[in-house]
């Protein structure tokens, strides 16, 4: 059973925390994903073997946390992440952000100051509500969003995604690729070339846009968005180890 954190906003966030050495590692999952995913569980096992502090959690409306998915938006989930990292970790942390978690981890670098000591992203999807969803909507979908307040998008992962007008509109308050993005710590970004959800151009744009002395992007030919076969999981471990070694 997960432990539960009540956030300042009154949401109940489910989490699993591993005690261990600092700096700790925090996993931030993707859109409609949860902390039981392959990458999160694999990294937890890695952290336990290393004696390293580790935290994984579910945003509100995801996994075992409170709330419904369709009520949430990027800003809510960023609040959840900030609350969990602040309340449940000690000292500086290395954030590992997968897909939407990459966007949220970038928001954390702006909000949590020196609490963030390093960053690993896996198929990071900054600004996806605007640049991928909204930009990709047809005029009919935009009209449906305006009138009905939501639109259904097909998903390769099961049920269609219900995209709400609030998700799109609130996401515009959270964009990170429109203003300077200083990342003054070690950053390792991983991206598959066969990712059907996050285009390679997004990784290149983030690399170009971010400002820092130690930022590297690794492209993996043929890797898809899941990025969770054994070789890819090993690359994630190596990226985390590189960031920890650089601190």
Which positions are annotated as active-site residues?
Answer: 99, 195, 225
Q: At what angle do helices 74-88 and 100-111 cross, to 10 degrees?
A: 60
Residue with tokens 């969770």: 228
**Which tokens sit at 5?**
């954190």
Q: Is 65 exposed, middle or buried (0-12, 13-18, 19+ CB in 10 A)?
A: buried
Compute how many other C-beta atoms are within 10 angstroms of the C-beta atom of residue 184: 13
Compute how many other C-beta atoms are within 10 angstroms of the C-beta atom of residue 68: 9
């Amino acid at each position: 059973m997960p432990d539960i954190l009540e956030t300042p906003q009154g949401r109940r966030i489910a989490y699993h925390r591993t005690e261990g050495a600092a700096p700790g590692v925090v996993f931030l999952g993707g859109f409609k994903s949860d902390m039981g995913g392959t990458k999160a569980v694999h990294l937890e096992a890695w952290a336990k073997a290393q004696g390293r502090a580790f935290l994984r959690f579910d945003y509100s409306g995801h996994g075992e946390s409170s709330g419904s998915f369709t009520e949430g938006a990027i800003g809510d989930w960023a609040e959840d992440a900030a609350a969990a990292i602040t309340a449940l970790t000690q000292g500086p942390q290395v954030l590992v952000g997968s897909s939407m978690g990459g966007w949220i981890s970038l928001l954390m670098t702006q909000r949590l100051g020196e609490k963030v000591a390093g960053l690993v992203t896996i198929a990071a999807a900054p600004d996806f509500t605007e640049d991928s969803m909204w930009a990709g909507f047809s005029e009919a979908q935009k009209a449906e969003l305006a009138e009905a307040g939501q639109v259904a998008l097909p998903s390769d992962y099961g049920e269609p995604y219900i995209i709400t007008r609030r998700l799109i509109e609130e996401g515009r308050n959270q964009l990170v690729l429109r203003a300077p993005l200083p990342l003054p710590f070690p950053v390792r970004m991983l991206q598959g070339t066969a990712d059907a959800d996050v285009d390679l151009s997004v990784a290149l744009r983030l690399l170009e846009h971010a400002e820092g002395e130690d930022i590297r992007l690794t492209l993996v030919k043929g890797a898809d968005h899941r990025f969770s076969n054994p070789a890819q999981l090993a690359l994630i471990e190596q990226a985390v180890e590189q960031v920890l070694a650089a601190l």
